[in-house]
Structure 1
Amino acid sequence: MSKQTGIILLSGKWKDRVGYYRRNKKGKKEWWWRRAPENVQRTAATKRAATDFGTASKCSRMVRHALRPWLQYYGYHFDHNRLNKAFINVIKADKDHNTGFKVPTHHHMQSLCGFNFNSSKIIHEYLTGAPIITSDQDNTTAILLPGIHLRNTTTNKGVTHVTVKAIALPFDYRQNTVTPLVSETITIKRSDIHQAITLTLPASKEQTLILLEIQCGYEINNSIEISADKQTAAIDIIAVLPAVKPEKIGKIYRNRTPQLYIVPTCCQPVSNHQRRQITSLYPLKE
C-alpha cells in the first residue's frame, strides 16, 4: 500500500493496482494505491454471506439517497459506513431465513430507532420527553412532542428560533427507490420552545421509518438563517411503523343465489328391475 503524491489522483483499478481514497482524522481525503489480488477464491458460504451484505448495502443506499437533501448538511459521506453497519446488524439478526436469503424484518428493524445521522448531536438532547406517535382516522400520522429544551451553552449563544420537521420513509427493500414524505416545518421562538408541538404526516400502508429533525437558527433582517454549526442540529430515526395489513373482503356475486361449495353426487342409472317396480306402483295412464 502506497500513498499517491502526484498531481493526477486516480480511483479504481489500473493494471495490477487499485486506487482509492480515505479520510484522515481531519476529514481530508488521502489517495492510496494497493496491489490487486491475482485470484479471488470464493466458496459457496462466502457467496451467500456476500448476498446478505449486498441486501444490507442496498437498504442503506435507499435510505441515504432518499435523505440526500437533508444529509448533505450533516456530512453525507461520513454516515455511509455507520448506516451500512446498522443494516448489516438488522440482516444478521434474521434467524428465520438461511444465509444468503436473509431480509430486514420489521421486528429487527426496530433496532434502527435512535440512529443519529449527525454523530455530533442527538434528538434526545433537545426533547423534554419521548415523542408520542398516533394514527388518526383521516389517514394521517401525528407526532406529539412535549417540548424542546435548549441549553445555555456557547454553541447555542445567539439562537433565536428553532425549526422542527418530521420525515417519513415508506421502506420496502424490494424496491429501488424510496419517496420521502415531509411534514410542515414549524418555526418556534426560543421563548416558546417549551410548548407542545404536533407534526402531521400522511399515513402509508408500507413499513415506514419516522425521522425527526431539529435545527437552530438566527433571526437576521426579519428572516431565519439556519446555523451552520453541526452542534446545533440533529436528525434521528425515532420510530419504525409496521405495514398496514389489507382488510379481507368477501366474494361478491352478481346473482342472489348462494354459491354451492359442495358439488352434489351424480345420480345412478335406474335398472330394469327398478323401472318395473316404479311402473307397477305408478301405472301410466292411457
Structure 2
Amino acid sequence: MAKQMSILPFTGKLGPLIGYKRNGQYFLRSMPESVRQTTATRRASRRFGIASRKGAFIRKAFYPQLDIHCDGGHINRLNRILIAAGDHHAAITGFRFNQHAGVDRFFTVAPRLCNNGILHIPAQTIAGYKGIAALEVKVIATRIDFISRQVTGSETVTLMIAPDTTFQETNVSLDVPGQGSLVVVFQVRAMYKDGPSRGRQYMAADIIAVAAPQVLRYAKKRRYPKRTRLLPNLTYTYVYPAIIQLE
C-alpha cells in the first residue's frame, strides 16, 4: 500500500496499479498477476453481484423522493443485508438510509402496515425539541418488481405534526396497484420556522414494511358424478359414485 502524493490523485485501474480512497486519503496498490478462484469464491462473487445490482435498484427507486442525506455507508450496509437475505426481500425491513437517526427517535410506537394496505400510525406522545417547530412525515410507498427490476407504481403522503404534543392515531391508505412487492419508507424531518434542519440526528428514513406480491388463487371447480339414465322395470342399488345394475 502506497500513498498518492501527486496533485491529481485518482481512483480505479491505471495499468498495473489500482488507486483507491480511504478516510479522505488516496492510496495505490498493485494488481495481482493472477487470480485463482475456487467454486466457493465464484459462488460468493455471484451472490455479491446479484445483491449489489438489486441494492442499486432499490436505492434508485427511492432516491428521487427522499429529502434527507443518506450516510456514507448506506450502500455497503444494504448490500450486506441483501447478500444474507437472498430472495427474502422482507429482510430489508428496518433498513435506515441514515444510520445516525431512525424513525424510533421521533415515534416511540412504530407505525405498521396492515393487510388491507392501510398504514396505521398509533396514538402516542411526540417529544419536543429545542427550536423545532414541526415534524414533517413523508410516507413513500413504492411497488417494485424484483424479477423484471421495474418500479410498477408509487405514492407519497405528507403529514405535518406538532412536537411536544399528543398525536392522535392516523390511518394512511396506500393504494399502489401493480405487480411486485410493496416497499414502504417512513421519512421524518425536523422543521425549523425557516426550513428543514440539516442535522443528521434530526432526519430519518427507514424501510418499515415490505409486503410480498399478491398471488391469485383459483378455486378448482367441483366435479360431480355423471348422472345415469335409469331404465324402467328394473331395481337399482346406488353405491356412490357408481351405479350397479341388478338382474
TM-score range, shorter chain: 0.7 to 0.9
2:184 alignment partner in structure 1:
210
CA distance in 2, matches of 1:76, 1:178: 24
AA matched with 1:230:
R
2:6 alignment partner in structure 1:
6
Give the structure-1-normalised TM-score: 0.69
Aligned 8 A contact 1:63 1:178 in 2: no
CA distance in 2, matches of 1:164, 1:3: 45
| Pair 1:162-2:138 in alignment | no
Which residues of 2 match residues 67-86 of structure 1 at below 5 A?
Answer: 67-69=62-64, 73-75=68-70, 77-86=72-81
1:118 alignment partner in structure 2:
98
2:111 alignment partner in structure 1:
131
CA distance in 2, matches of 1:72, 1:49: 34
Q: Deviations over 1:150-193 (max 9, x none)?
A: 434xxx31101111111223233323443662322111223555
CA distance in 1, matches of 2:187, 2:10: 37
Aligned 8 A contact 1:66 1:180 in 2: no
AA matched with 1:123:
V
Q: Which region of structure 1 is more displaced relative to structure 2, 197-206 or 162-171?
A: 197-206
CA shift for structure 1 position 81: 0.9
CA distance in 1, matches of 2:7, 2:76: 28
2:118 alignment partner in structure 1:
142
CA distance in 1, matches of 2:105, 2:158: 20
2:54 alignment partner in structure 1:
59
Q: Deviations over 1:126-155 (max 9, x none)?
A: 22423232354xxxx221111464434xxx
| Pair 1:151-2:127 in alignment | yes
Structure (1 or 2) with the greater strand fraction: 2
Aligned 8 A contact 2:103 2:186 in 1: yes
AA matched with 1:124:
D
Aligned 8 A contact 2:11 2:21 in 1: yes
CA shift for structure 1 position 63: 1.1
AA matched with 2:47:
D
Q: Report runs of 4+ in structure 1 exceeding 6 Å deviation.
A: none
Aligned 8 A contact 2:127 2:163 in 1: no
SS at match of 2:80: helix
Q: Deviations over 1:28-71 (max 9, x none)?
A: x3211110111111233322221111111111111111222356
Percent identity, please: 29
Give the structure-2-normalised TM-score: 0.79
CA shift for structure 1 position 237: 1.3
CA shift for structure 1 position 219: 1.8
| Pair 1:17-2:17 in alignment | yes
Residue from 68, 76, 82 that aligns with 1:87: 82
Which residues of 2 match residues 43-54 of structure 1 at below 5 A?
Answer: 43-54=38-49
SS at match of 1:74: coil
Q: Deviations over 1:188-210 (max 9, x none)?
A: 22355522233232234422222
Q: Deviations over 1:217-245 (max 9, x none)?
A: 0123xxxx111111111111111111101
1:85–1:180 distance in 2 versus 1, CA, 3 Å: farther
1:55–1:72 distance in 2 versus 1, CA, 3 Å: farther
CA distance in 1, matches of 2:153, 2:189: 19
AA matched with 2:98:
N
Aligned 8 A contact 1:183 1:199 in 2: no
CA distance in 2, matches of 1:39, 1:148: 60
Aligned residues: 220
Gaps of 5+ in 1: 92-103, 252-286
